[in-house]
Copies of this chain bind each other. A is one copy, B any other.
Amino acid sequence: MSPARTEWSDAEEEIMRATYRALLSHGYADLSMSHIADELDKSKAAPYYYYDSKDELLVAFLDYAIYRFEDGLDTDVGDDPKERLDHAVEKLLPLRPDEKTRDLQAVLVELRAQAVTNDAFREQFSRLDAEIVETIREIVQRGVDDGTFRDVDATRIAEHVLATIIGGRYGQATTDREDAIGAPRVSLTSYLDAELRPRP
């Protein structure tokens, strides 16, 4: 399992952006090198100078998309565990995502589905989910240690948060149900409050 890249040359960045746009308008199942080239405004052959195959390009794109998503997950927001947790939850499952955020999440939903049959994708999403759980777990554990939170199983809480977040995002990206994000987000907050608030 190789670590995800965090830097791209200008040319690669342009290809990644074109792939992103192509994915948004055609979806993963209908994504072709021609569509990417169209968005790139270059010939179909151009991307092959940087990537040996479509597969290799797509694995690179997964790195790129996940990096974009992870960015700023646990940025400096102070020391208060409650604030850090709220901040992480809002980053992971924004109550009112703007269009850019929804687009990125839609693309990630499509990419994640490929992990069912593609091992390289599967490894990346396994790593991503493990990192999210670890981030949440660490925040909760800190709160337990300093008495802000009740003495709970931080890993169990973190796994529940991850599942609810993924579910909320899939609900939003794949249905027209109005409350697909609002409801799980509100009940996630209430769940965390109920589980973590110290007993009186």
Give the docked Cα–Cα distance between A179 and B157 (Å).
Answer: 13
User: Quick one: which of B114, B129, B164, B190 contacts A29, CB cutoff 8 A?
Assistant: B114
Residue of B nearest to A183 (CB): B159
A166 at the interface (CB under 8 A from B): yes
Residue of B nearest to A175 (CB): B126
A112 at the interface (CB under 8 A from B): yes
- CB neighbours of A120 from chain B (8 A): none
- CB neighbours of A190 from chain B (8 A): 156
Give the docked Cα–Cα distance between A155 and B182 (Å).
Answer: 12
A130 at the interface (CB under 8 A from B): yes
A4 at the interface (CB under 8 A from B): no
Range of interface residues on A (Cβ < 8 Å): 35 or more
Min CB–CB distance A67 → chain B (angstroms): 18
**A163-B156 CB under 8 A given contacts A174-B122, A194-B194:** no
A residues bordering B, Cβ < 8 Å? 26-30, 106, 109-110, 112-118, 121-123, 125-126, 129-130, 155-157, 159-160, 162-168, 170-171, 173-177, 179-180, 183-184, 186-188, 190-191, 194-195
Q: List 15 A-B contacts (CB under 8 A).
A: A28-B29, A110-B116, A110-B117, A115-B174, A115-B175, A121-B174, A122-B174, A125-B174, A126-B177, A156-B183, A162-B167, A162-B184, A163-B168, A165-B167, A166-B170
